[in-house]
Amino acid sequence: MRIPFPDHVPPARDLGAVHFVGIGGAGLSAIARIMSQQGLAVSGSDTADSAVVQALRAEGITCFIGHDAAHLEGIQTVIASTAVREDNAEIVEAQRLGLRLWPRSAGMRALMADRRTIAVAGTHGKTTTTAMLTCALIAAGAKPSFAIGAQVASLGVNARLGRGDLFVAEADESDGAFLHYSPEGAIVTNVDADHLDNYGTIEAYAAAFDEFVASIGGFLVLDVDDEGARALIGPARERELEVLRVGFDEEADLQGRDLVIEGSTSTFSASLHGVDLGPVHLAVPGAHYAKDALLALGAGLLDGHHVDLLVAGLAAYTGADRRMQLLGSAAEVRVYDSYAHHPTEIRADLAAARAIAAGDRLVVAYQPHLVSRTRLYGVEMGEALSAADRVVVADIYLAREDADPTVTAALIVDAVDGPPASAGGPVDGLAQVLLSELRAGDLLLTLGAGDITTVGPAVLAGLQERG
């Protein structure tokens, strides 16, 4: 459901009692957590119980399972997920009562009142870069508030109210939310067309990033290795923003060199305008994570923090939920889970998984996310999955869309070139399909932005029973 952004967004302290429809999601749970820490009366509802919902309850937030108009008694503000349908009972009741009904972006904007904001935008890598920047700033003594799109192991949460004046926010472009934040500084990780169900064309998607740059007040850190991000240099300089070009390319102002990936770690050297900054050590594998760290380092430097402290914070980062996350191992099979759902992300995660597998067989179970994305990128998804040794593709996760019999997992399976590939059917039966395939030494990687998160734990339980 598309809810219009309001003409006026008061600070969060003036919202009264706030209810979140879809509170278990990464975005809304972060906003709810910070508003609760500010002293607001916060409640929420979701379709199913989850670890996130349970954690919010433990923090004193009332969370209902299921949606009911009665949940809005005493509520002044309702903030809803874009995944919620227009006929949702709580949405209908909020409209009937004339309550303040906001999209997620307005809730985030209310939190930014009276704070300096650094927003992290881009098609890929937002969550990791935001988390890395937060860890680096905390190590540097900044005490920021932060809102991140996943739980972060080294932080223990996805959001927190800080004592400093700085707010670090993951700025999601999927529904245009990032156009409402007006940050002091920003990072753009990359611009690689996605969410065309919302934007319609690749040109419109790219234009949204131009509009985002026009909302920035001070500095922009961007990946000069990425063509889409590099195209923002001109518009940023026209606005007289301080621009820091980051990358492993010779053109970069903040340059990474000599990247070494060994198992689950990465190391590279960094220099700023030719001055050596020393090595950067990461406890996560992959060239894409090294780039995220370099971008976070750049933003921390422009915000005025010491490089040694920032680098120490980056070294302390140990990963975020669903970003090449090790779920466990059983029967000599390692099981990882990741959020990748776009061909670029799939290629990057498979390259990282190859380094971790160290010669062992890589089995990938992938759940496509959205019919519209699969229609556009299905063939490229299959080509990216070809880097695995065995591929199983589950049914498409529909989310806010309806099924299309002409767009199915077969589109992806047919495009896999090399390894054996097959359709795995519904996610609730995928664990059994994988258990019949897995053998000692394998690395299983589950990929997708939907409910494939349930598969890894089910596989581990089955492997433990098998012994």
Residue recorded with tokens 């995660």: 349
The identity of residue 398, as a single letter, is: L
C-alpha dihedral, 274 to 276 to 277 to 282, nearest 10°? 100
CA atoms 350, 351, 352, 353: torsion sign:
positive
- Closest alpha carbon to 285 in 341, 365, 354: 354
* Residues, the chain: 467
Whether 127 sits among the annotated catalytic residues: the reply is yes
HSE of 144, CA atoms in CB hemisphere, 13 A: 30
HSE of 151, CA atoms in CB hemisphere, 13 A: 14
Give one DSSP letter per residue of 11-34, joined into a string: -GGGS-SEEEETTTSHHHHHHHHH
- Residue 232 contacts residue 191 (beta carbons within 8 Å): yes
Annotated catalytic residue: which of 126, 128, 189, 374? 126
Classify residue 89 as exposed, middle or buried by CB count within 10 Å of its CB (0-12, 13-18, 19+): middle
Alpha helices in 160-306 (DSSP H): 196-199, 202-214, 227-230, 233-238, 287-302
Whether 170 sits among the annotated catalytic residues: the reply is yes
Annotated catalytic residue: which of 77, 117, 123, 127? 127
Q: Which helix (H) or strand (E) holds 281?
A: strand 275-282
Whether 126 sits among the annotated catalytic residues: the reply is yes
- Residue 119 contacts residue 183 (beta carbons within 8 Å): yes
Annotated catalytic residue: which of 93, 170, 173, 383? 170
Catalytic residues: 126-127, 170
